[in-house]
Chain A
Amino acid sequence: GAGVSQSPRYKVAKRGQDVALRCDPISGHVSLFWYQQALGQGPEFLTYFQNEAQLDKSGLPSDRFFAERPEGSVSTLKIQRTQQEDSAVYLCASSPREGPYEQYFGPGTRLTVT
Chain B
Amino acid sequence: GENVEQHPSTLSVQEGDSAVIKCTYSDSASNYFPWYKQELGKRPQLIIDIRSNVGEKKDQRIAVTLNKTAKHFSLHITETQPEDSAVYFCAPSTSGGGADGLTFGKGTHLIIQP
How many contacts between A and B, using CB within 8 angstroms?
Answer: 73
Q: Which of B44, B51, B100, B105 has the most CB atoms of chain A within a 10 A radius of its CB?
A: B44
Binding site for B on A (CB under 8 A): 31, 33, 35, 40-48, 50, 55-56, 59, 91, 95-103, 105-108
Closest to A33 in B: B101
The answer to whether B43 touches A108, judged by C-beta atoms less than 8 angstroms apart, is yes
Q: Is B61 located at the chain interface by the 8 A CB criterion?
A: no
Counting from the closest, the 8 A-B pairs by CB-CB distance are: A100-B96, A45-B101, A42-B104, A98-B99, A101-B98, A105-B43, A95-B98, A100-B32
Query: What secondary structure prevails in chain B residues at the interface with A?
Result: loop
The answer to whether A100 touches B101, judged by C-beta atoms less than 8 angstroms apart, is no
C-alpha gap A45/B102 in the complex (Å): 7
Closest to A44 in B: B104
Closest to A94 in B: B98
Q: How large is the interface on B (under 10, 10 to 19, 20 to 34, 35 or more residues)?
A: 20 to 34
Contacts of B32 in A (CB 8 A): 100
Contacts of B29 in A (CB 8 A): none
Contacts of B43 in A (CB 8 A): 91, 105-108
Given A42-B89, A107-B42, A108-B43, are A101 and B106 neighbors across the interface (CB < 8 Å)?
no
Closest to A30 in B: B98
Minimum distance in angstroms from B30 CB to a CB of chain A? 11
Minimum distance in angstroms from B103 CB to a CB of chain A? 7
* B44 interface neighbour in A50, A91, A95, A99, Cβ under 8 Å: A91
The answer to whether B99 touches A102, judged by C-beta atoms less than 8 angstroms apart, is no
* A96 interface neighbour in B98, B102, B106, Cβ under 8 Å: B98
Closest to A108 in B: B43
C-alpha gap A103/B45 in the complex (Å): 8
The answer to whether B100 touches A48, judged by C-beta atoms less than 8 angstroms apart, is yes
Q: List 11 A-B contacts (CB under 8 A).
A: A31-B99, A35-B101, A42-B104, A44-B104, A50-B99, A56-B100, A100-B93, A100-B97, A102-B46, A102-B49, A108-B43
Minimum distance in angstroms from B6 CB to a CB of chain A? 8
Contacts of B97 in A (CB 8 A): 95, 99-103
